[in-house]
Amino acid sequence: MRCRLGLKECPKNDAGILRCFPKIEQPFGMVIFGASGDLTKRKLVPALNRLFEAEILPERFFVLGAARTRMGDEEFRSRFNTQPDLLKRFSYTRVDYQNPDTFKSLKRVVDDLMKRFGVRNLIFYLSVPPDVYVPIIENLSKAGLNTETSRIVIEKPFGKDLKSARELEQVLQRSFGEHQIFRIDHYLGKETVQNILVFRFANFIFEEIWNNKFVDHVQITIAEGIGVEHRAGYFENTGLLRDIFQNHMLQILALITMEPPSSFNGESFRSERVKLLRSIRPFPVEDLENWIVRGQYGRGTVNGRVVPAYREEPGVSKNSSVETFVAMKLFIDNWRWSGVPFYLRAGKRLPKKVTEVAVVFKRIPHSIFPNVPSKDLEPNTIIFTIQPNEAISLEFQVKRPCPGMTPQLLSMDFRYEDYFGVKLPDAYERLLLDVILGDTTLFMRRDDLEVSWELLDPVLKAWESDPVRFEPHIYPSGTWGPKEADLLIERDGRRWRRP
């Protein structure tokens, strides 16, 4: 099938990197608040660099870093390993996020850059901890920078709870139109996450079995081997539930379970996603421990390296009760999924970095094979390996090539890199492109946030109200979390996959 560029094959450069986005015509300026931080260095600038190398970015654009850290243009540029011609478009200015006067100076700097580069469209990227969003938005408005042609990108976790998320939305709506607001969850930019939709809705056979008549349970794992790194300033005020579940986990769950939208573009896709989130059963706070397990990594060994406990990390309180691991069980109360348990887990300092979804089907009702009871036959499973080694696998039974009738489980695997022969574009490449183009399809809508916080707020409040009862269970780094997380699924007669 030909793609929107009319190509039957995905073009790639000699490094095997996918190069098939159309060149953008309209000029833009991007102001990155918090540009001295981790996201800018690890994700935003590398994504801009790849778009630049692919000659996708327009001739006229600039990037202005804005943060409190004192540095000049050259020091800012020296932080990044990118094409020199790209760095020529980078500059830096100091701002105090709380001080309106510094935003007046910022406007002077921006106006000058807009003249120099012939730019009208401004993008403000808030790559700062959530606590700082509101003052930045209000000061952009006071300085008159929130023009009709400007756009604003808000990073997850979109506030800290339902109340602050609503306050953030009110401030946002006062300063920008809905079409100008890009609430980013970068998992939606991942090719493998988007492919869940193509797998489900471009193939007839899977949708017919994608329900409680055939599915026994679903497991979603978002595991990381890294710890909090140098992000204690953010993470100590956030925790794993806000950092990963309120956004990435719930978005993946929604794509796996939502009803088919009438169209991918426009509001239909986003509406079906929100409809699904609304059907998740609220957690019973009276016996929350039976539904949600909190963990915090202790000392241990990851990939052969001895690592410190969370509480020993720089910037972390010595008696911090912030969770670095969460496992939960939930139900989706609708016709399609009624009665099917969903087991979700995410954490830091686990044995490896892997994100996968496993749709586990029911066992056969009766075995016709001598000495092979149905309980010994592993069920069919469809596994979406979101990252790394991106793939989709189907596990099924075949006959072992020997006398008798002995089934053997094997896996049929589609691996992106083997099949397409390209390295997948990073999520931020696609999402930055969509921001520049003004396409909000892969971004969160305000009701996405409303619903996800409505679901998790009672959990956060319960944890805060009884810190002793909900003290996180310490687990050794390099393990799959506290044993309580295993009990969560094992008491239902199931077990976590070891991806």
Ligand X SMILES: NC(=O)C1=CN([C@@H]2O[C@H](COP(=O)(O)OP(=O)(O)OC[C@H]3O[C@@H](n4cnc5c(N)ncnc54)[C@H](OP(=O)(O)O)[C@@H]3O)[C@@H](O)[C@H]2O)C=CC1
Ligand Y SMILES: O=C1O[C@H](COP(=O)(O)O)[C@@H](O)[C@H](O)[C@H]1O
Smaller CB separation from ligand Y, 224 or 429: 224
Interaction between residue 261 and ligand X (CB under 6 A): no
Strands 407-415 and 391-399, how do they pair? Answer: antiparallel
**Is the backbone of residue 282 left (phi > 0), alpha (psi -120 to 50) or beta?**
beta
Instruction: Give me Rg for the CA atoms of the chain.
Output: 24
Helix 446-465 vs helix 250-257: angle between axes, to the nearest 10 degrees?
A: 130
Residue 311 and residue 316: Cα distance in Å, rounded? 6
SS3 112: helix
Residue 292's identity, in one-letter code, is I
Residue with Cβ nearer ligand X (13 or 237): 237
Minimum distance of ligand Y from residue 156's CB (angstroms): 6
Position 239 contacts ligand X (CB under 6 A): no
Closest listed residue to residue 448, CA positions, set 281, 271, 282, 279:
271
CA atoms 428, 429, 435, 439: torsion sign: negative
Q: Which residue is nearest to ligand Y (CB)?
A: 243
Residue from 138, 169, 191, 243 that binds ligand Y (CB under 6 A)? 243
190 belongs to an annotated ligand binding site:
yes
**Residue with Cβ nearer ligand Y (169 or 224):** 224
Query: Which one of ligand Y, ligand X, none is in contact with 341 (Cβ closer than 5 to 8 A by kind)?
Result: none
Per-residue x/- marks for ligand X, 92-131, CB under 6 A? -----------------------------------xxxxx
224 binds, among ligand X, ligand Y, none (CB under 5 to 8 A by kind): ligand Y
Nearest-approach distance from CB 155 to ligand Y, in angstroms: 8
Q: Is 303 helix (H, G, I), strand (E, B) or coil?
A: coil
Interior/surface letters 31-68, b for 16+ CB within 10 angstroms, e for the rest: bbbbbbbebbeebbbbbbbbbbbbebbbebbbbbbbbb
State the catalytic residue, choosing from 179, 217, 230, 248. Answer: 248
Q: CA-to-CA distance for 349 and 478, rounded, in angstroms? A: 6
Q: Which of 224, 323, 356, 448 binds ligand Y (CB under 6 A)?
A: 224
Residue selected from 231, 270, 294, 348 as contacting ligand X according to rule CB under 6 A: 231
Residues forming the annotated binding site for NADP(+)? 34-41, 68, 156
- Point out which residues bind ligand X (CB under 6 A): 34, 36-39, 42, 67-69, 127-132, 155-157, 186, 231, 233-234
**Residues tagged active-site:** 248
Residues forming the annotated binding site? 34-41, 68, 156, 186, 190, 224, 243, 348, 353
